[in-house]
Amino acid sequence: LYRHGDRTPIAPYTNDPYKNESLWPVPFGQLTNIGKNQHLLLGCWLRKRYSGFLSDVYTPYDIYVQSTDVDRTLMSAEANLAGLYPPVKNEIWDNNIYWIPIPVHTIPAQEDYVLKASKYCPRYKYELEKLLTSPEMENIKKANAKLFAYLTKHSGENINSIRAVEHLYDNLYIETLYNKTLPQWTKSVFPEELKPLAILSFMIEAYNKILQRLKAGPLLGEMIDHMVKKTQHTLQPDRKIWIYSAHDETIGNLLMTLNVFDPHPPPYAAVVLIELRMNSKNQYFVTVSYKNTTEEPILMTLPGCDTLCPLNEFINLTKDVVPEDWERECQISRNEISSSDVIGNYWI
């Protein structure tokens, strides 16, 4: 599971001195050439890691690639595959283009409860709003009331939530990456004052067991299902790798759900590797690794298990956060619906 590569800001804030799209290399929210190269290199790294495991020649019996239905994730997957599968021998179809087309699958966001996790779920909405109005979150908002007011005054946006702070932080962060001079008013708050709240925003969507179960649980459940079928020799086709191209919050939500998240904003092209391994005694283990820089990935240890976690223990440790029937578990009673309507939604 990886995050897309470098992009332009999703949307400028009202008083943004760089809100004219012509000041950017590509339109807002799109993958840049830097981002394409990041994923080309990541694909090359994956090819090296899985050399001898994955065939050098592309075959749909080896690999399945799924992306959220967003330009930058679809394009990142395509760039990544160019590095993972450089054409060999009879795959070369044009001597001027050292590339082969490989399918990247997606579904509309409103139907996607696995990867984008954006299909409407009444229970998730209710539980998230319950969290956001909890004493813990209200205290965080109160503690940052002056900061919110300051940001609202200078940005021109209504900054009244943790998510709104993260959006502003993201814009300012990208502008610094592109060597743009930030307004004077940002000097006293960016990055020091904003970063802790931006980091918190990557924890909130999967803050507790019920949110984890409904948000990242379907993706984790799909991964586990593939691994179990692989061990039972019932996987059809008998693929070796699934690749998921998604977003920073997808990374954060999965790591939160596995209880291994070291809170931070996941960087461009960060990748989580969940690998099924077999030892000489035909025993199956799962490893979870996280690569968030150009360096080698870090092995993660699930609480209650070893770094090399037996598959059965991995399944047992995650059973509380994998839904049995997502559609059914998303349902709530009429009383809860009316309560949810009263609370209102100021997160999404």
Whether residue 339 has pLDDT greater than 60: no
What the block records as the tokens of 196 is 């802790």
Inter-CA distances, 3 with 39, 174, 204, 227, 287, Å: 9, 16, 18, 22, 19
Determine, yes or no, domain membership for 339.
Answer: no
pLDDT digits (tens, 9 = 90+) for 174-219: 999 999 999 999 999 999 999 999 999 999 999 999 999 999 999 9
SS3 276: strand
Q: Do 222 and 319 fall within a single domain?
A: yes
Question: What is the pLDDT confidence band of residue 109, given thresholds at 50, 70 and 90?
Answer: very high
- Bridge partner list, 183: none
Residue for token pair 């179960």: 213
Q: Do 111 and 235 fall within a single domain?
A: yes
Q: Do 44 and 59 fall within a single domain?
A: yes
Inter-CA distances, 159 with 13, 140, 150, 201, 301, Å: 11, 14, 9, 14, 37
Question: What is the pLDDT confidence band of residue 334, given thresholds at 50, 70 and 90?
Answer: confident
Whether residue 342 has pLDDT greater than 60: no
Question: Which of 112, 248, 262, 320 is labelled catalytic?
Answer: 248
Q: Do 84 and 110 fall within a single domain?
A: yes
55: how many CB neighbours lie within 10 A of its CB?
14
Q: Is 247 a catalytic residue?
A: no
Q: Is 248 a catalytic residue?
A: yes
Which amino acid is present at 132?
L
Determine, yes or no, domain membership for 140.
Answer: yes
Whether residue 348 has pLDDT greater than 80: no
Q: Do 223 and 317 fall within a single domain?
A: yes
Determine, yes or no, domain membership for 346.
Answer: no
The length of the chain, given as a count of residues: 348
Q: Domain of residue 170: give its range.
A: 122-205
Q: Do 76 and 189 fall within a single domain?
A: no
What the block records as the tokens of 219 is 């993706």
Determine, yes or no, domain membership for 53.
Answer: yes
Question: Which of 4, 39, 154, 247 is labelled catalytic?
Answer: 4
pTM comes to: 0.94
> How many domains does the chain divide into?
2
Q: Do 7 and 127 fall within a single domain?
A: no
